[in-house]
Structure 1
Amino acid sequence: MADGRVERGNQTRRTVLERTMSIASVDGLEGLSLGKIATDLGLSKSGVFALFGSKEDLQLATVHAARAVFVDEVVRPVRDEPAGLAKVWRLCESWIDYSGRRVFPGGCFFYSVAAEFDSRPGPVHDEVAKIRGDWTRHLERLLEEARVAGGFREPVDSADVEQLAFEIMAMMELANAHSVLHGSTVDYGRAARGILARLRAATAAPEELPERPPVLAFAAADFSAADAPVVRLPA
């Protein structure tokens, strides 16, 4: 009996977080309400309050859930690739696909909530900043691994690695921002071409990188947030 209650509680928590991730990516974390979520999902308000306790706890749980989705969609698919700039390129492809497919209806979840909380001190700001920092460091680490493996055609130092990571992230995030604002996917192609050109100019092994990016699977489709699939937590 107790195990059944725990399982139902876990499933309810999962259902709530899948809903709050979708809402927060469009309306922001401040758009979350324990009472409204309970009503929308046909759950008891007392049950939802028991699971999360406060709006801030719900916001933090939503951020943690979104991180799990991000890792599953972007990081995990290339985790076992050998070190090199080809791995960096595949990570960028993975990110562009994640943003362009609208895994989150509002585009990249962490771009959206970072803009919302960048000047708001507190636990939510700190957690968002930490996760964004983790992502930056992950990209820098893959570039550093490529450097150690002899992947660059010219000597580079840590400052060069950080600069390249900054440029790559800037192109990806601008594509995301323009796509969300204008309802178009054309800038993902521009970002992909820009990133690939930057990597091909730097690599010691150009044969490991395509000459041009593949056609994006979502490039011909008009984006509509209303048509985006429900966000699902990884199993």
Structure 2
Amino acid sequence: MHKVFDWAHTSSRGVLLFVDEADAFLRKRSTEVISEDMRATLNAFLYRTGEQSQKFMLVLASNQPEQFDWAVNDRLDEMVEFDPPGLEERERMVRQYFEKYVLEPATQGKGRLKVGQFDYGAKCSEIAAIAEGLSGREIAKMGVAWQARAYASEDGVLTERMVEEVVSDAIAQHARKVQWQEDQERMAQRHSVMDPAFRSSKDTPVLPPLTGSSSPSRSGKP
């Protein structure tokens, strides 16, 4: 950690440090047992970001910003929420990944993949309409799954039914993930009511829980 910040300070033009899944090592110190290495990393991060700097800007991305340690939240100047893709974005992505994983291999003779007789343009629009809440990653995985279904079939043909089955599975899996998160949040709420230690102002999350979105937080004063 110290080496990263030492390197950032060597730039004469400034550096933007982007940390994806930042909650993996910047979690609250008081709400779970963390290893000594993890605690040392967090402490090093807090030490190196305690004052404003013109040498670098820090961007943290997280699907669970409520997990950040209170001292990390205190260092963030701006919080930007990225909602799941809307209908127009979903349709563009569905078409993009259908073309990438299905149409291109089928038309370029890569492997034995073929597309059955159905209006895949209309089907992409239909999928986008019912895939509300799915992230870009989940939509991309549908494209991979369509290709896998075709290759796994006897004749290598991707049928309309296969496409629909993959979409149904993706929507069901997304619903389960949302339910798991809601259950976890309810358990944490009950725990916080029962345990006075959880009611410390230092442990109160300042970011709202998000569902299926990635929320980078930008700081000009790391």
Q: TM-score range by the shorter chain?
A: 0.3 to 0.5
User: Which gives a bigger RCO, structure 1 or 2 (Cα 8 Å, sep 6+)?
Assistant: 2
Bigger radius of gyration among the two:
2
Higher strand share: 2
Give the structure-1-normalised TM-score. 0.31
Higher helix share: 1
Give the structure-2-normalised TM-score. 0.32
